[in-house]
Protein backbone atom coordinates (compact mmCIF):
# COMPACT_ATOMS: atom_id res chain seq x y z
CA UNK A 1 0.00 0.00 0.00
CA UNK A 2 1.40 3.39 -1.01
CA UNK A 3 1.86 5.82 1.88
CA UNK A 4 0.92 9.49 1.75
CA UNK A 5 4.10 11.64 1.98
CA UNK A 6 3.10 13.03 5.38
CA UNK A 7 2.34 9.55 6.66
CA UNK A 8 5.75 8.40 5.41
CA UNK A 9 7.40 11.22 7.37
CA UNK A 10 5.33 10.28 10.43
CA UNK A 11 6.50 6.65 10.23
CA UNK A 12 10.10 7.76 9.68
CA UNK A 13 10.01 9.95 12.81
CA UNK A 14 8.73 7.01 14.85
CA UNK A 15 11.39 4.66 13.45
CA UNK A 16 14.22 7.11 14.21
CA UNK A 17 12.82 7.75 17.70
CA UNK A 18 12.75 4.03 18.43
CA UNK A 19 16.28 3.37 17.14
CA UNK A 20 17.88 6.33 18.89
CA UNK A 21 16.01 6.55 22.18
CA UNK A 22 14.54 3.18 23.15
CA UNK A 23 16.50 1.36 25.86
CA UNK A 24 17.35 -2.26 25.03
CA UNK A 25 14.84 -4.71 26.55
CA UNK A 26 16.40 -7.18 28.99
CA UNK A 27 16.85 -10.79 28.00
CA UNK A 28 14.17 -13.24 29.26
CA UNK A 29 14.76 -14.22 32.90
CA UNK A 30 17.64 -11.74 33.05
CA UNK A 31 18.97 -10.95 36.52
CA UNK A 32 19.10 -7.17 36.83
CA UNK A 33 21.69 -5.95 39.28
CA UNK A 34 21.02 -2.24 39.58
CA UNK A 35 18.87 -0.79 42.42
CA UNK A 36 15.40 -2.26 42.98
CA UNK A 37 12.46 -0.01 42.12
CA UNK A 38 8.79 -0.44 43.10
CA UNK A 39 6.47 1.02 40.46
CA UNK A 40 2.93 1.53 41.72
CA UNK A 41 0.31 1.37 38.97
CA UNK A 42 0.27 -0.50 35.63
CA UNK A 43 -1.34 2.26 33.62
CA UNK A 44 0.33 4.07 30.76
CA UNK A 45 2.78 5.97 32.96
CA UNK A 46 3.57 2.98 35.16
CA UNK A 47 4.31 0.68 32.22
CA UNK A 48 6.34 3.38 30.47
CA UNK A 49 8.36 4.09 33.62
CA UNK A 50 8.95 0.42 34.37
CA UNK A 51 10.09 -0.28 30.82
CA UNK A 52 12.61 2.56 30.97
CA UNK A 53 13.86 1.29 34.33
CA UNK A 54 14.40 -2.34 33.25
CA UNK A 55 15.85 -1.13 29.95
CA UNK A 56 18.57 0.61 31.94
CA UNK A 57 19.21 -2.37 34.17
CA UNK A 58 17.07 -1.57 37.20
CA UNK A 59 15.29 -4.43 38.94
CA UNK A 60 11.60 -3.50 38.90
CA UNK A 61 8.45 -4.82 40.54
CA UNK A 62 5.21 -3.38 39.20
CA UNK A 63 2.25 -3.32 41.62
CA UNK A 64 -1.28 -3.18 40.17
CA UNK A 65 -4.53 -3.16 42.17
CA UNK A 66 -6.51 -4.80 39.35
CA UNK A 67 -6.04 -7.92 37.25
CA UNK A 68 -4.22 -8.27 33.92
CA UNK A 69 -7.13 -6.58 32.13
CA UNK A 70 -6.19 -3.42 34.03
CA UNK A 71 -2.91 -2.96 32.14
CA UNK A 72 -3.34 0.43 30.50
CA UNK A 73 -4.96 2.15 33.46
CA UNK A 74 -7.80 4.48 32.54
CA UNK A 75 -7.54 3.46 28.86
CA UNK A 76 -8.48 -0.10 29.84
CA UNK A 77 -11.76 1.13 31.33
CA UNK A 78 -13.17 3.71 28.92
CA UNK A 79 -15.50 3.14 25.96
CA UNK A 80 -14.35 1.62 22.69
CA UNK A 81 -15.55 4.78 20.95
CA UNK A 82 -13.08 6.82 23.00
CA UNK A 83 -9.86 7.87 21.34
CA UNK A 84 -6.91 10.18 21.43
CA UNK A 85 -7.88 13.83 21.10
CA UNK A 86 -4.42 15.13 20.22
CA UNK A 87 -2.39 13.80 17.30
CA UNK A 88 -0.48 10.66 18.22
CA UNK A 89 2.86 12.22 17.26
CA UNK A 90 2.40 14.32 20.42
CA UNK A 91 1.50 11.27 22.54
CA UNK A 92 4.71 9.28 22.48
CA UNK A 93 4.82 7.88 26.00
CA UNK A 94 7.77 5.66 25.00
CA UNK A 95 10.21 5.91 22.07
CA UNK A 96 9.30 2.42 20.79
CA UNK A 97 5.59 3.21 20.41
CA UNK A 98 4.54 2.85 16.78
CA UNK A 99 1.24 4.48 15.87
CA UNK A 100 -0.36 3.52 12.56
CA UNK A 101 -2.90 6.35 12.58
CA UNK A 102 -3.00 9.97 13.69
CA UNK A 103 -5.87 9.60 16.16
CA UNK A 104 -5.88 6.04 17.57
CA UNK A 105 -8.91 4.69 19.38
CA UNK A 106 -9.00 3.12 22.82
CA UNK A 107 -8.23 -0.41 21.60
CA UNK A 108 -5.18 0.74 19.65
CA UNK A 109 -3.87 2.68 22.64
CA UNK A 110 -4.28 -0.29 25.00
CA UNK A 111 -2.60 -2.49 22.40
CA UNK A 112 0.48 -0.23 22.34
CA UNK A 113 0.67 -0.19 26.16
CA UNK A 114 0.31 -3.97 26.34
CA UNK A 115 2.93 -4.53 23.65
CA UNK A 116 5.34 -2.30 25.57
CA UNK A 117 4.60 -4.21 28.79
CA UNK A 118 5.44 -7.50 27.06
CA UNK A 119 8.41 -6.17 25.05
CA UNK A 120 10.27 -5.32 28.24
CA UNK A 121 9.35 -8.55 30.02
CA UNK A 122 7.16 -6.87 32.62
CA UNK A 123 4.71 -9.80 32.78
CA UNK A 124 6.99 -11.66 35.18
CA UNK A 125 7.63 -8.48 37.16
CA UNK A 126 3.99 -7.45 37.73
CA UNK A 127 2.03 -8.27 40.88
CA UNK A 128 -1.66 -8.05 40.02
CA UNK A 129 -4.53 -7.74 42.51
CA UNK A 130 -2.13 -6.01 44.91
CA UNK A 131 -3.37 -2.64 46.09
CA UNK A 132 -0.61 -0.63 47.71
CA UNK A 133 -1.74 0.72 51.08
CA UNK A 134 1.61 1.72 52.52
CA UNK A 135 5.21 2.34 51.51
CA UNK A 136 7.49 2.78 54.50
CA UNK A 137 11.24 2.72 55.10
CA UNK A 138 12.79 0.10 57.34
CA UNK A 139 15.70 0.75 59.69
CA UNK A 140 18.19 0.36 56.84
CA UNK A 141 16.43 2.99 54.74
CA UNK A 142 14.94 0.55 52.22
CA UNK A 143 11.28 0.67 51.25
CA UNK A 144 8.77 -2.00 52.29
CA UNK A 145 5.45 -2.23 50.46
CA UNK A 146 2.28 -2.92 52.49
CA UNK A 147 4.48 -3.79 55.51
CA UNK A 148 5.03 -7.14 53.79
CA UNK A 149 8.71 -8.19 53.54
CA UNK A 150 7.74 -11.01 51.17
CA UNK A 151 7.52 -8.44 48.38
CA UNK A 152 11.16 -7.64 48.99
CA UNK A 153 12.75 -4.32 49.86
CA UNK A 154 13.33 -1.48 47.43
CA UNK A 155 15.83 1.30 46.90
CA UNK A 156 13.23 3.61 45.37
CA UNK A 157 9.48 3.98 44.81
CA UNK A 158 7.79 5.42 41.75
CA UNK A 159 4.11 6.35 42.23
CA UNK A 160 2.30 6.21 38.89
CA UNK A 161 -1.30 6.01 40.07
CA UNK A 162 -2.46 8.59 37.54
CA UNK A 163 -5.27 11.09 37.92
CA UNK A 164 -8.36 8.96 37.22
CA UNK A 165 -9.69 6.34 39.62
CA UNK A 166 -13.22 4.98 39.78
CA UNK A 167 -15.99 6.80 37.86
CA UNK A 168 -17.53 9.67 39.81
CA UNK A 169 -21.30 9.19 39.74
CA UNK A 170 -22.91 11.78 42.04
CA UNK A 171 -26.54 11.46 43.03
CA UNK A 172 -28.71 14.36 41.90
CA UNK A 173 -32.08 15.36 43.39
CA UNK A 174 -35.10 13.38 42.17
CA UNK A 175 -32.95 11.15 39.97
CA UNK A 176 -35.24 8.22 40.76
CA UNK A 177 -38.26 9.85 39.07
CA UNK A 178 -36.53 10.15 35.68
CA UNK A 179 -38.16 7.79 33.20
CA UNK A 180 -35.18 7.60 30.86
CA UNK A 181 -31.73 6.03 31.12
CA UNK A 182 -28.76 7.34 33.12
CA UNK A 183 -25.18 6.27 32.42
CA UNK A 184 -21.70 7.42 33.32
CA UNK A 185 -19.69 8.64 30.33
CA UNK A 186 -17.23 5.74 30.69
CA UNK A 187 -19.95 3.05 30.67
CA UNK A 188 -21.43 3.42 27.20
CA UNK A 189 -20.19 0.29 25.40
CA UNK A 190 -23.14 -1.74 24.14
CA UNK A 191 -25.51 1.22 24.54
CA UNK A 192 -27.12 3.24 21.76
CA UNK A 193 -28.47 6.76 21.54
CA UNK A 194 -30.03 6.29 18.11
CA UNK A 195 -33.04 8.56 17.74
CA UNK A 196 -32.85 9.73 21.37
CA UNK A 197 -32.59 13.16 22.95
CA UNK A 198 -29.35 12.98 24.95
CA UNK A 199 -28.47 15.24 27.88
CA UNK A 200 -24.78 15.42 28.82
CA UNK A 201 -24.11 16.75 32.32
CA UNK A 202 -20.62 18.23 32.43
CA UNK A 203 -18.40 20.15 30.07
CA UNK A 204 -14.90 18.76 30.64
CA UNK A 205 -12.86 15.94 29.15
CA UNK A 206 -15.54 13.36 30.01
CA UNK A 207 -17.99 15.33 27.90
CA UNK A 208 -15.73 14.71 24.89
CA UNK A 209 -16.09 10.98 25.54
CA UNK A 210 -19.87 11.36 25.67
CA UNK A 211 -19.94 13.46 22.50
CA UNK A 212 -18.00 10.79 20.62
CA UNK A 213 -20.59 8.22 21.66
CA UNK A 214 -23.47 10.49 20.64
CA UNK A 215 -21.98 11.17 17.20
CA UNK A 216 -21.19 7.48 16.60
CA UNK A 217 -24.70 6.29 17.51
CA UNK A 218 -26.67 8.98 15.66
CA UNK A 219 -28.65 10.63 18.45
CA UNK A 220 -31.62 12.79 17.49
CA UNK A 221 -30.31 15.75 19.52
CA UNK A 222 -27.76 16.54 22.20
CA UNK A 223 -27.78 19.11 25.00
CA UNK A 224 -24.54 19.73 26.90
CA UNK A 225 -25.34 21.12 30.36
CA UNK A 226 -22.12 22.77 31.54
CA UNK A 227 -21.49 24.79 34.71
CA UNK A 228 -18.96 26.98 32.95
CA UNK A 229 -17.64 27.84 29.51
CA UNK A 230 -14.73 25.73 28.31
CA UNK A 231 -12.12 26.46 25.70
CA UNK A 232 -12.70 24.13 22.78
CA UNK A 233 -9.94 23.64 20.23
CA UNK A 234 -10.16 21.76 16.90
CA UNK A 235 -8.91 18.21 16.54
CA UNK A 236 -6.17 19.32 14.20
CA UNK A 237 -2.49 18.35 14.44
CA UNK A 238 -1.26 21.69 13.06
CA UNK A 239 -3.34 23.79 15.48
CA UNK A 240 -2.54 21.57 18.46
CA UNK A 241 1.15 21.69 17.57
CA UNK A 242 1.15 25.48 17.47
CA UNK A 243 -0.55 25.69 20.86
CA UNK A 244 2.00 23.24 22.27
CA UNK A 245 4.74 25.72 21.41
CA UNK A 246 3.79 27.59 24.58
CA UNK A 247 6.58 25.95 26.58
CA UNK A 248 5.54 27.77 29.76
CA UNK A 249 2.26 25.83 29.97
CA UNK A 250 0.41 28.84 31.35
CA UNK A 251 -1.00 32.22 30.36
CA UNK A 252 1.53 34.71 28.92
CA UNK A 253 1.29 38.24 27.56
CA UNK A 254 0.89 36.69 24.11
CA UNK A 255 -1.99 34.32 24.97
CA UNK A 256 -4.50 36.76 23.51
CA UNK A 257 -3.18 35.92 20.02
CA UNK A 258 -4.25 32.22 19.86
CA UNK A 259 -7.39 33.05 21.86
CA UNK A 260 -8.43 35.70 19.33
CA UNK A 261 -7.63 33.45 16.37
CA UNK A 262 -9.68 30.60 17.85
CA UNK A 263 -12.66 32.91 18.36
CA UNK A 264 -12.44 34.33 14.85
CA UNK A 265 -11.60 31.19 12.88
CA UNK A 266 -13.01 28.28 14.90
CA UNK A 267 -15.82 29.62 17.09
CA UNK A 268 -16.93 32.24 14.50
CA UNK A 269 -20.68 32.68 14.96
CA UNK A 270 -20.51 30.76 18.26
CA UNK A 271 -18.05 33.12 19.94
CA UNK A 272 -20.49 33.56 22.83
CA UNK A 273 -19.47 30.05 23.98
CA UNK A 274 -15.82 31.04 24.41
CA UNK A 275 -14.72 31.88 27.96
CA UNK A 276 -14.09 35.51 28.79
CA UNK A 277 -12.68 35.22 32.30
CA UNK A 278 -10.49 32.13 31.83
CA UNK A 279 -7.47 32.07 29.55
CA UNK A 280 -6.75 29.30 27.06
CA UNK A 281 -3.77 28.01 29.06
CA UNK A 282 -5.31 28.17 32.55
CA UNK A 283 -6.75 24.66 32.29
CA UNK A 284 -6.92 21.77 29.83
CA UNK A 285 -9.17 22.67 26.88
CA UNK A 286 -11.65 20.33 25.24
CA UNK A 287 -10.38 18.95 21.92
CA UNK A 288 -13.37 18.37 19.69
CA UNK A 289 -14.33 19.32 16.16
CA UNK A 290 -17.82 17.80 16.23
CA UNK A 291 -19.68 19.88 18.80
CA UNK A 292 -19.76 23.07 16.71
CA UNK A 293 -20.85 21.10 13.62
CA UNK A 294 -23.66 19.60 15.67
CA UNK A 295 -24.73 22.99 17.03
CA UNK A 296 -24.73 24.63 13.60
CA UNK A 297 -26.76 21.72 12.22
CA UNK A 298 -29.27 22.28 15.06
CA UNK A 299 -28.61 18.77 16.40
CA UNK A 300 -26.92 19.99 19.59
CA UNK A 301 -26.90 22.88 22.04
CA UNK A 302 -24.50 24.08 24.71
CA UNK A 303 -26.27 25.41 27.81
CA UNK A 304 -24.45 27.31 30.55
CA UNK A 305 -25.87 26.96 34.07
CA UNK A 306 -26.52 24.71 37.04
CA UNK A 307 -28.39 21.42 37.32
CA UNK A 308 -31.19 21.67 39.89
CA UNK A 309 -32.39 18.09 39.63
CA UNK A 310 -34.17 15.50 37.55
CA UNK A 311 -37.75 15.56 36.35
CA UNK A 312 -39.77 12.71 34.86
CA UNK A 313 -38.84 13.81 31.34
CA UNK A 314 -35.45 15.44 31.72
CA UNK A 315 -33.45 17.91 33.81
CA UNK A 316 -34.49 21.02 35.72
CA UNK A 317 -31.79 23.53 34.83
CA UNK A 318 -30.94 27.09 35.88
CA UNK A 319 -29.57 28.70 32.72
CA UNK A 320 -27.15 31.56 33.36
CA UNK A 321 -26.13 34.42 31.12
CA UNK A 322 -22.50 34.80 30.07
CA UNK A 323 -20.38 36.21 32.87
CA UNK A 324 -22.71 35.11 35.70
CA UNK A 325 -20.68 32.91 38.10
CA UNK A 326 -21.49 29.32 39.02
CA UNK A 327 -24.49 29.15 41.33
CA UNK A 328 -25.56 32.65 40.31
CA UNK A 329 -29.03 33.77 39.22
CA UNK A 330 -30.58 32.52 36.02
CA UNK A 331 -33.72 31.35 34.26
CA UNK A 332 -35.10 27.96 35.30
CA UNK A 333 -36.02 25.68 32.41
CA UNK A 334 -36.73 22.01 31.84
CA UNK A 335 -34.42 20.38 29.31
CA UNK A 336 -36.18 17.29 28.03
CA UNK A 337 -34.35 14.09 27.17
CA UNK A 338 -34.53 10.29 26.93
CA UNK A 339 -30.97 9.58 28.06
CA UNK A 340 -28.69 11.34 30.55
CA UNK A 341 -24.93 10.87 30.37
CA UNK A 342 -23.06 11.88 33.51
CA UNK A 343 -19.80 13.38 32.24
CA UNK A 344 -18.74 13.94 35.83
CA UNK A 345 -15.23 12.54 35.63
CA UNK A 346 -13.40 10.24 38.01
CA UNK A 347 -12.43 10.00 41.63
CA UNK A 348 -8.87 11.06 42.43
CA UNK A 349 -6.67 8.06 43.25
CA UNK A 350 -5.50 8.12 46.84
CA UNK A 351 -1.90 8.82 47.79
CA UNK A 352 -2.52 7.94 51.43
CA UNK A 353 0.11 5.18 51.20
CA UNK A 354 2.83 7.86 51.19
CA UNK A 355 4.77 8.83 54.32
CA UNK A 356 3.34 11.82 56.17
CA UNK A 357 6.49 13.88 55.80
CA UNK A 358 6.18 14.18 52.02
CA UNK A 359 3.11 16.37 52.58
CA UNK A 360 4.95 19.00 54.61
CA UNK A 361 4.97 22.65 53.57
CA UNK A 362 5.82 24.04 51.10
CA UNK A 363 5.88 20.78 49.11
CA UNK A 364 2.17 20.21 48.75
CA UNK A 365 -0.12 20.21 45.72
CA UNK A 366 0.43 21.48 43.12
CA UNK A 367 4.15 22.08 43.68
CA UNK A 368 4.92 18.35 43.83
CA UNK A 369 3.89 18.02 40.22
CA UNK A 370 6.52 20.56 39.17
CA UNK A 371 9.28 19.23 41.40
CA UNK A 372 8.50 15.48 41.06
CA UNK A 373 10.70 14.49 44.01
CA UNK A 374 9.70 15.53 47.57
CA UNK A 375 12.84 16.81 49.35
CA UNK A 376 12.32 14.59 52.40
CA UNK A 377 12.43 11.47 50.23
CA UNK A 378 14.53 11.86 47.11
CA UNK A 379 13.99 8.17 46.36
CA UNK A 380 10.30 8.80 45.79
CA UNK A 381 9.21 9.77 42.31
CA UNK A 382 5.73 10.99 41.37
CA UNK A 383 4.90 10.46 37.73
CA UNK A 384 1.69 11.81 36.19
CA UNK A 385 -0.13 11.93 39.51
CA UNK A 386 -2.15 14.85 40.81
CA UNK A 387 -0.82 15.11 44.33
CA UNK A 388 -3.70 14.47 46.65
CA UNK A 389 -3.64 13.12 50.15
CA UNK A 390 -6.46 11.11 51.66
CA UNK A 391 -9.06 8.72 50.35
CA UNK A 392 -10.56 8.81 46.86
CA UNK A 393 -13.39 11.30 46.75
CA UNK A 394 -12.15 13.38 49.69
Mean pLDDT on 148-173: 90
What CA–CA distance (Å, rounded) separates 106 from 354? 31
> pLDDT: is 212 or 307 the higher one?
307
* Cα 388 from Cα 394, distance rounded (Å): 9
Strands 153-154 and 143-145: antiparallel
Q: Are 162 and 385 in contact (CB under 8 A)?
A: yes
Q: Pick from 223, 201, 180, 191: which is nearest to 344 by CA?
A: 201
Over the range 25-35, which residues count as b (16 or more CB within 10 Å of their CB) and which as e? bbeeeeebeee
pLDDT of residue 385: 43
Share of the chain above pLDDT 70, in %: 90
For residue 309, list its beta bridge partners.
316
Residue pLDDT, tens place only, 378-392: 556 555 444 333 333
Residues whose CB is less than 8 angstroms from the CB of residue 88 and which lie 6 or more positions away in sequence, other chains included? 99, 101, 102, 103, 104
| Lowest mean pLDDT, pick from 41-50, 223-232, 241-250, 301-310 | 241-250
Q: Are 81 and 147 in contact (CB under 8 A)?
A: no
Residue 363: is its pLDDT beyond 60? no
Cβ atoms of residues 21 and 29 within 8 Å: no
What pTM was computed for the model?
0.84
For the purposes of burial, counting CB atoms within 10 Å of the CB of 153, is it exposed (0-12), middle (13-18) or buried (19 or more)? middle
Work out the pLDDT band at 374, boundaries 50, 70, 90. Answer: low
Average pLDDT in the 321-334 region?
A: 92
How many C-beta atoms lie closer than 10 Å to residue 206's C-beta? 25
Looking at the chain, the whole-number percentage of residues with pLDDT higher than 90 is 49
* pLDDT tens per residue across span 221-266: 999 999 988 888 888 888 888 888 777 777 888 889 999 999 999 9
Contacts of 50 (CB under 8 A, 6+ apart): 37, 39, 60, 62, 120, 122, 125
- When pLDDT is averaged across residues 294-298 and rounded to a whole number, the result is 89
Q: How does the average pLDDT of the chain come out, rounded?
A: 86
First to last CA, the chain: 53
pLDDT in tens, 332-341: 999 999 999 9
Amino acid sequence: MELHPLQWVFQLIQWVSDKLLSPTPPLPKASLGRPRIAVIGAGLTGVSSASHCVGHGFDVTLFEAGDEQSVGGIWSRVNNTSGLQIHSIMYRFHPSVNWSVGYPDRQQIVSQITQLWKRYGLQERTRFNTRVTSARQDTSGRWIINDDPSFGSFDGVLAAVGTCGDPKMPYMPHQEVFEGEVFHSSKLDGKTAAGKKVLIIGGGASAVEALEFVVHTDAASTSVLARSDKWIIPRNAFVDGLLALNIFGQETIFSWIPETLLKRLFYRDLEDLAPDSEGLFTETPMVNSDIFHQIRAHKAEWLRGDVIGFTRNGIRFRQRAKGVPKGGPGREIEVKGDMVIMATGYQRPSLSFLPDEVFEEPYQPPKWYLQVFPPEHMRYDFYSSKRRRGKPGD
